[in-house]
Structure 1
Amino acid sequence: MDQALTRPTTQLNLVAAVAFVVGGSLFALGAAFAQLGVVSLPTVNVTYLVGGCFFSLGGYVSILLANNTDTDTGERTPWWRFRPHSRSWLSAYVLFVGTLFFAVSLVAAFAAGLTPRQSDGWIWLPDMTGCVCFLVSGRLAMLDVGAGRVRVLAHLVGWWVVAVNQLGSVLFFLAGIAAFTRPATSDEINTGLVNWGTFAGAVCFAVGGVIQALDTPTTTRTAVQP
């Protein structure tokens, strides 16, 4: 592969990896704060919000990375390109959309005096939509790294990135379900599952980011045969 292509690919991969490490770490910290009750709620919300910004950065850079690894022209990486027939691009795009839904939820969390219905509409629903996007993105990524099939490829670093992140997505989804506010009681279904599920899922994304930093994305697709 042309060196002009390899250099930006490596740089984009590192930026995305660092963004997910920082975002995952802040989400884990926010969940620990919420569970242990050692800081105020606004501090928890700010921690989550900053972490969400890093997740969005990682999601967008992942789109650029997909653009760069799926082309061999050596051209400068475009800020945007519509490539719906590429699994890696679709995975990154859906992931990025998911981070935007998370952002809506994280900003809405700062609102005071919300009724249970309003809380579910402005916080829980965008959060669950983001969780579903993460699951879909992970599924597409598994198909991409497996050349059209979901399979175990333990010899590939890229497979471990996808697998660990997908586990994190499942944990986020379970935490999201538990965060539904019951109108009758104004309480979440299971606060402990919300916090610990978010914590464990966030740790998965942070670990996935560390593994991604060690990955060479340009070799993943050529190492797997359909």
Structure 2
Amino acid sequence: MPQIDAEGPPQHTMLETSGVWPFVSRRVHSEHGRVHVWTSRQHRKGLSRLDIPRIESFFAAQSLNTWIGVVFAIGASCFVVASLMSLFPGLAELSVLGSHIDAVYFAGSIPFTIAAWLQLFQAANPNATLSGRTARRRVWFGWYPKEIGWLSCALQFAGTVLFNFNTFDAMSPSLNWWQENLVVWVPDLAGSILFLASGYLAFIEANHKHWAFHPRSLSWWIVFINLLGCVGFMISACFAFTLPSESNNLSVNISTAWTLQGAICFLAGAVLMPFESAESA
């Protein structure tokens, strides 16, 4: 409903809303005769020109987006290195133990979780990226399940926490096949499902529909590449199930190859994130 000014005609009129049900990720409204376009991704990441503050701080839009990209890139790089060490141990001309590779995976899961939390914090405090002051007190996590951007970040953060457990438990040398499935594969599968849901929500948030092709948009490339990474992790988890008595080297190699594909995609998406912020500025 338009808001009626006591002295004249409506000053604020909603012209159009769009998004994948039940979310609204784009709004077009008229205010005092000017048309404004609001999108969920730009709002939560502070990508609007008006949202980027004059004075930089850690919580400023450009600075925080850059740090999120850098920390994500560190985690993805660890996963890339660990996957390559597992698939091609001869590349380093060293005898690499499986426990060492698992330690690299675990090390990579930590910056993944830190970056995911920073992104969740950003989504929970979109006004914290506005110039100078905040409209409400900052919260660590928030609870806004009706907002597609926050929900995507929350699912991603939960997935990274499960990867922390998954990669930490994988370093234990004394697990039998069913224990490995319980404490390594189950968190891996659950985390991959959450990642896939998060990646798809981010994709439809940026595109306002189930599928879109916008190769000239940097935001489209970021969410699309990250979605491909989520698919890679999901396929990897499907092949990671441990059998009791059969040699499953082929399945392990397939799983690792898809982990590598996912990690490369996440690394590429992370590298592009600061450019998205700079482009908007």
Normalised to the residue count of structure 2, the TM-score between the two structures is 0.72
Candidates 201, 226, 236, aligned match of 1:175: 236
8 Å Cα contact 1:165-1:205 kept in structure 2: yes
Q: Which has the larger radius of gyration?
A: 2
Distance 1:41 1:101, change over 3 A: same
How far is 1:201 from its partner?
0.9
Report the Cα distance in structure 1 between the residues aligned to 2:54 and 2:266, rounded to whole angstroms. 27
One-letter identity of the residue aligned with 1:99? T
> Which amino acid counterpart does residue 78 of structure 2 have in structure 1?
L
For structure 2, the 5+ residue unaligned runs are 1-49
Residue correspondence of structure 1 range 99-138 to structure 2 within 5 A:
99-138=160-199
- By relative contact order (CA 8 Å, sep 6+), the higher-ranking structure is 1
Contact 1:178 1:189 (C-alpha < 8 Å) held by counterparts: no
Q: 1:102 to 1:89 in 2, by over 3 A?
A: same
* Structure 1 partner of 2:70: 18
Contact in 1 for aligned 2:52/2:61 (Cα 8 Å): no
- Per-residue deviation, 1:192: 1.5
The residue identity in structure 1 corresponding to 2:198 is S
Where in structure 1 are there 5+ consecutive unaligned residues?
220-226
Query: What's the offset of the Cα at 1:134?
Result: 0.6
Higher helix share: 1
Contact residue 180 and residue 188 of structure 1 kept, 8 A: no
**Equivalent residue runs for 1:1-226 within 5 Å:** 1-4=50-53, 7=56, 8-37=60-89, 38=94, 39-69=96-126, 74-75=133-134, 77-185=138-246, 187=248, 190-216=251-277
Q: Which has the higher strand share?
A: 2
CA contact (8 A) 1:6 1:218 kept: no
1:224 maps to none
Q: Which amino acid aligns with 2:190?
A: T
Aligned length: 220
Please give the alpha-carbon distance, in whole angstroms, between the structure 2 residues aligned to 1:97 and 1:137: 10
Identity %: 26
Code of the residue aligned with 1:164 in structure 2: it is I
In structure 1, what residue type is equivalent to 2:100?
A: T
Q: CA deviation at 1:169?
A: 0.8
Residue deviations 1:145-184, cap 9 Å, x none? 0124431222321121110011011111111111110123
* Distance (whole Å) between structure 1 residues aligned to residue 250 and residue 147 of structure 2: 38
When normalised by structure 1's length, the TM-score is: 0.88
